[in-house]
Structure 1
Amino acid sequence: MLDIPAFRAALLAWYDAQARDLPWRTGPAAGKAGARSDPYRVWLSEVMLQQTTVPHAAPYFLSFTQRWPTVSDLAAVEDGELMAAWAGLGYYARARNLLACARAVAAEHGGVFPDTEEALRALPGVGAYTAAAVAAIAFDRPANVVDGNVERVMARLFAVEDPVPDAKPELKRLAGDLVTADRPGDWAQALMDLGATVCRPKQPLCDRCPVRPWCEGFRTGAPETYPRKLKKADRPHRHGVAYVLTRGEATALVRRPPKGLLGGMLGLPTSDWRDRPWSDAEATEVAPVAGAWRDLGTVDHVFTHFSLTLRVLRAESNGEGDFVWTAPDGLAALPSVFLKAAKAGRDRLV
């Protein structure tokens, strides 16, 4: 039987000494001195960190908070400007939800985030995890904050045999049993830090773990085998054509539809993405304009749910079409799949 008070005391003491220094975090020492986390910074960081690592997200966070220091500042941004600033973080639906939430907080809450999970969940694009994280970290509410790191800690701590994702409800329940009204924000971040720095997915550092005495996974001798996992299904593969249309040094871009993958982003004109390759005739037929299209090979890209091979065709503009003509230095803001194709279209031409 887990001794919850002793377990919590050990983990919080470790967090007080070993907490990561993160740009959005109010550390435990500052918290004890009365400092409070800014809900805007907590929310922004949590959205950025979904499907993104801390080292990758941190520069974006610093850039965003310098350009838009408050949620009301962010709410006033044009959609295209926000999407360009988000480029490289991936999962662009998050950027659309970010803007929708910021505008709702500014318009309906006077630029002040609500302080309960229920009210946070009512904001556009805010799910159960983000609401719990903001409630706990920014407002010190006793919320159950469960991300992938916390799931891994729970699976090892209790040696949960059911594989994920089926085990997720049980892992969340187990984590919830450990939440109390004592330092809930620090508790949530302590569990996250433990999973990120010690109870790592591979080669966990059990010799450094402050809660090893209570860990059933450690007792098995193979903690790295938790959480148990089902065999992943093969990722589907799709094919498309990317069109690099140039006018001197400028490249033609189009605004993608607001809904769907990479919605609202600037990108290269493309064909549909389908299960079979495009023939030369098909690729030319659906090109954005008629022209002398040259085949410059392919680029590959992997999304979360499928992989993609894009044929890259290039032509010089004949003046037709409604495009956003972009200089070479502006291409860096493209989503990575289009940046790969644009570079191939310009670099491979001889």
Structure 2
Amino acid sequence: MRKRTAAAPVPELPEARRLASIRAPLLAWYDRERRDLPWRRTKDPYAIWLSEVMLQQTQVATVIPYWERFLARFPTVEALAAAPLDDVLAGWRGLGYYSRARNLHRAAQEVVARFGGKLPSSAEALLTLPGFGRYTAGAVASIAFGEEAPLVDGNVARVLSRLFEVEGPPGDRAREAHLWGLARALVKGERPGDLNQALMEHGATVCRPESPLCLLCPVRAACLAFQHGRVNELPPAKVRAAPKRLTLALAVWPHENTLLFARRADKGLFGGLWELPAAEIDPDAEDAAAATKLSESLGVSVTAKTALGTVQRQLTHRALTLRLLRVSGRQLPSRAPAFHELRWCTPAQAEGLGMSTAMQRALEAALRAGVLGG
């Protein structure tokens, strides 16, 4: 008979008195020390949701001007839902992680279709919308609607790991379940949205990954890692894989003061975005071999004329090299097997396209090289 492996014991949650000893000073500290951020001055659930989406993987200082411009351009859920995806992606240009913008647009359309243009107020309902995971649902439900909904992001995970001396590496299932259980217990009570924001704020400004400011910590007396001298041990550093190298050949194809642009499929790297048509190549591929790959992607024969240099970009999981090739061909393509759509655009028209920062830099390099005759 096969022997069954015993499940790991579920850690007990702290008693109410200990939770209260953390909640009260943390909220008081938040009232005194919180940063004056524009999305904290509004009660509009749409504006709060937008801030949470933009803040994923992106620093606060970068997000603020994008949030303000995006709201000015798409002031309501209805306005966002009605906008063409190209306009939405253009408004997101430079912010990165473009799947966030695509999901935001899809979710806005569902909010209009299913909920009459009003975001649902519960985390459970929010989870049914595109782009809403447990964190985003908990953030919007608690901050915008006052629901006792937990959230755990990197900052909150670090704070909870130290406060309650939670063991295990980031990504460990038992550790993640424990952290969410602690967040769920801690958020119960008055001002759940402010409590969640206090946890995030504390992790961002005081309980930092390196050089934490323990002497300024409002909950130092309750912190087990501080008591046991383990603040710098918890949580253990996440082991990150080395970025993979990716080399793309870009077709710089001039025609009557325009260049050829292509829009990718919605999934994958640069999904749904416009670009100078690209094809993956070996790092040491000759120009002729690169032209063959571009011909396959565009569905017409392409000839490499001139190498226009390279653009290097470091993405989160990719070390990206873009090789610019001036190309020509007897047949001007209007559709292509590897792309959703093709367009011939002037540089001014291209400014309205949703394009990644990497592709924008490549376009600028091509124009500096004089492909359109100055």
For residues 311 and 22 of structure 2, the distance between their equivalents in structure 1, rounded to whole angstroms, comes to: 50
Selected match of 1:303 from 298, 304, 315: 315
Match of 1:121, as an amino acid? L
Give me the TM-score of the superposition, normalised by structure 1: 0.89
By how many angstroms is 1:96 displaced? 1.1
For residues 233 and 184 of structure 1, the distance between their equivalents in structure 2, rounded to whole angstroms, comes to: 36
142-151 or 282-291, which moves further after superposition? 282-291
Residue aligned with 2:278, SS = coil
Match of 1:343, as an amino acid? E
For residues 230 and 211 of structure 2, the distance between their equivalents in structure 1, rounded to whole angstroms, comes to: 10
Q: Does 2:346 match 1:326?
A: yes
Selected match of 2:206 from 198, 212, 234: 198
Selected match of 2:157 from 151, 155, 174: 151
193-202 or 302-311, which moves further after superposition? 302-311
Deviations 1:136-190 (A, max 9, x none): 0011010111111101111121233311121322222222221213110110111
The residue that corresponds to 2:26 in the other structure is 11
The residue that corresponds to 2:192 in the other structure is 184
Structure 1, unmatched stretches of 5+, are 27-35
For residues 292 and 234 of structure 1, the distance between their equivalents in structure 2, rounded to whole angstroms, comes to: 32
Deviations 1:283-338 (A, max 9, x none): 12233563452113322223333322222212478782333313158459631111
Structure 2, unmatched stretches of 5+, are 1-13, 335-342
> Does the CA contact (< 8 Å) of 1:250 and 1:328 recur in 2?
no
Q: Does 2:78 match 1:63?
A: no
- Counting only pairs closer than 5 Å after superposition, residues 215-230 of structure 1 correspond to structure 2 as 215-230=223-238
Q: Does 2:360 match 1:339?
A: yes
CA RMSD of aligned residues (A): 2.4
- Counting only pairs closer than 5 Å after superposition, residues 225-304 of structure 1 correspond to structure 2 as 225-247=233-255, 250-272=258-280, 277-287=284-294, 288=298, 290-304=302-316
Match of 2:347, as an amino acid? A
Match of 1:224, as an amino acid? N
For residues 305 and 227 of structure 2, the distance between their equivalents in structure 1, rounded to whole angstroms, comes to: 63
For residues 262 and 252 of structure 1, the distance between their equivalents in structure 2, rounded to whole angstroms, comes to: 17
> Does the CA contact (< 8 Å) of 1:162 and 1:228 recur in 2?
yes
Deviations 1:257-304 (A, max 9, x none): 2232222211111113x6654332211223356345211332222333
Match of 1:180, as an amino acid? K
Residue aligned with 1:314, SS = strand
The residue that corresponds to 1:116 in the other structure is 122
194-203 or 255-264, which moves further after superposition? 255-264
> Does the CA contact (< 8 Å) of 2:304 and 2:325 recur in 1?
no
Inter-CA distance 152–324: structure 2 relative to 1 (3 Å threshold): farther
> Does the CA contact (< 8 Å) of 1:76 and 1:103 recur in 2?
yes
Runs of 4+ in 1 over 6 A off after TM superposition: 316-319
The residue that corresponds to 2:136 in the other structure is 130
Q: Does 2:183 match 1:162?
A: no
For residues 105 and 39 of structure 2, the distance between their equivalents in structure 1, rounded to whole angstroms, comes to: 19
Residue aligned with 1:301, SS = strand
Residue aligned with 1:307, SS = strand
Match of 2:361, as an amino acid? K
Identity, % of aligned pairs? 44
Selected match of 1:79 from 85, 105, 126: 85
Match of 1:263, as an amino acid? G
Residue aligned with 2:86, SS = helix
Deviations 1:41-68 (A, max 9, x none): 1111111111111111111111111122
- Counting only pairs closer than 5 Å after superposition, residues 19-58 of structure 1 correspond to structure 2 as 19-26=34-41, 37-58=43-64
**How many residues end up aligned between the 2 structures?**
340
> Does the CA contact (< 8 Å) of 1:241 and 1:311 recur in 2?
yes
Inter-CA distance 247–225: structure 2 relative to 1 (3 Å threshold): farther
